[in-house]
Amino acid sequence: MGTVDDTVRGAVYDAVFGEIDDAVDNAVGRSAGVAVYDAVGGSVEGAVHREVATKTVT
Amino acid sequence: MSILNDPSITNPAPQTRLDSLTEAQKSLMTVWRDKWIAIGLSTAEADHKMFEEAAQICYKAAKLAPFKRVVWVKSPAIMAQVAPRAAVILARGKASKDQRRAGLPTDEVRKLVDEAIGRASVDAELNEVTMSDITNMWGRYIGGQFWVGGWYLGSPASVSYMHDVCGLDLGDLQERAEAYAKTAMSCSWWWPHTEFIIACDRPRVIARDGQGRLHREDGPAVEYRDGWGVYSWHGVAVPADVILHPESITVVDIEKTTNVEIRRVKTERYGHGRYIEDSGAKKLHEDEFGVLYRKDIPNDEPLVMVRVKNTTPEADGTYKFYYLTVHPELRPLLGGNRFGEPQSPTARNAVASTFGLRGEEYAPSRES
């Protein structure tokens, strides 16, 4: 399955998620980051990814 | 420029560092969470233009040449079959004349699968194989609408909150952050390749129960626009027949089911009381309060139920009987998932436990 070009997915993901995550991690203090994660990103993750996405394709 | 373009948000002063949140910013967290959950669970048609423009920015950010085309498919089932085939054909190079073939219709594929396995395949088997394809290729997708949240702060939901609400300026990375958010706001899964992207339309149905779990009683809880989907009962993925034809469930079928969660769903769909009656459950005790039964279930806790009689007769003078599920040790149900101490297995203790009482505390003036 190497022919499906795994490197593209990795490159795109790193550029649009990984690098942004690093930048935000550096720019946001711990307490503010935890608060945003708990109330926004993590909550959205639970409702959308954990409850719907993973149960659709795995 | 904001990511969500919410007109109710006043442009905050740009900041390169965010160490604390104001009360006004905190008050918008729930609003922002709900906005992104709505995006993540959207069943609107995909926005092709928004996706294709945003995806090119993502490719540029990844230092990739622009992709040449986007192929839109209606479900991840189709994506899982189209994307690798297209990639393999491209990797092999241009076909010679000798290798050229006409198109391969789905019916023909099915006919050949049938021939290879020596009998007619059934939809359930083909679905199972397709599901396996999708699962095996999980690591090759990007989640689109389903990856709006995340374990890290780089998720579109968190980034847009910190940018739009708090004013965090990501400098050179801002354009790609907005582009990535737009891919999530415009379609479902997508599969990036050097030459093409296979992008999937959003589902037309995402049905959940009151606790946010996938649940639908008359069809797939997630249903894509070509009809492919996933059946689910309160968050447990189950075979289609469990949802569409519960009348086909039998005691033998239930007891052959090795997956504990699916077996519980099948039992619920069959009817707990009916299952107790039909499955040869052991009668533990009988008194004036009812009849206590226990059904041992391999690799799961036993099903213990008490049969009680409605003291009010029906119009024709007969009485209705009901089955109440009780804790296997008849621990009184105290509420909030708390239980009292175990009790000896009597029907009185069982009925009392449903009121949060022990048998000796239970003295009804009349049962109902």
Contact assignment for B141 to A19 by CB distance below 8 Å: no
How far apart CA B124 and CA B1 sit, in angstroms, is 49
Confidence at B99, pLDDT banded by 50, 70, 90: very low
The minimal CB distance from A49 to the residues B149, B179, B222 is found for: B149
Nearest CA in chain A to B93: A3
- In chain B, what residues touch A57 (CB-CB under 8 Å)? 76, 134-135, 138, 141, 189
Q: What is the pLDDT of residue B318?
A: 86
Per CB-CB distance under 8 Å, the chain B contacts of A26 are none
Any chain B CB within 8 A of the CB of A34? no
**Residue B109 — pLDDT band, cuts 50, 70, 90?**
low
pLDDT reading at B334 higher than 80: yes
pLDDT of residue A55: 83
B5 band by pLDDT with thresholds 50, 70 and 90: confident
Characterise B285 by phi-psi region: left (phi > 0), alpha (psi -120 to 50), beta (else): beta
- Which residues, 6 or more positions from B88, have their beta carbon under 8 angstroms from its beta carbon? A3, A4
Residue burial B236-267, b: 16+ Cβ < 10 Å; e: rest? bbbbebbbeebeebebeebbebeeeebbbbbb
The rounded distance, in Å, linking the Cα atoms of B7 and B200 is 29
Using 50, 70 and 90 to split pLDDT, how confident is the model at A2?
Answer: very low
pLDDT at position B102 over 50: no
Note whether B149 and B212 are within 8 A (CB): no
The complex's ipTM works out to 0.90
The share of chain B scoring above pLDDT 90, in percent, equals: 66
Indicate the DSSP class of residue B118: T
What would the pLDDT profile of B64-89 be if each residue is shown by its tens digit? 999 999 999 999 888 887 777 677 66
pLDDT on residue B112: 60
**Alpha carbon of residue A25 to chain centroid:** 13
In contact, B189 and B28? CB cutoff 8 Å: no
pLDDT the model gives residue B100 = 42
pLDDT at B96: 47
The whole-angstrom separation of Cα A32 and Cα A22 is: 15
pLDDT tens column, B277-328: 999 999 999 999 999 999 998 888 999 999 998 888 888 888 888 899 999 9
Q: Which residues of A touch B78 (CB under 8 A)?
A: none
Mutate to test the interface with B, among A30, A52, A54, A58 (most CBs of B within 10 A): A52
Nearest CA in chain B to A7: B193
Q: Is the pLDDT of residue B199 over 70?
A: yes
- β-sheet bridge partners, residue B198: B71, B191
B10 phi, psi to nearest 5 deg: -80, 135
Pick B56 or B104 by higher pLDDT: B56
User: Is residue B351 within 8 Å of residue B333, measured between CB atoms?
Assistant: no
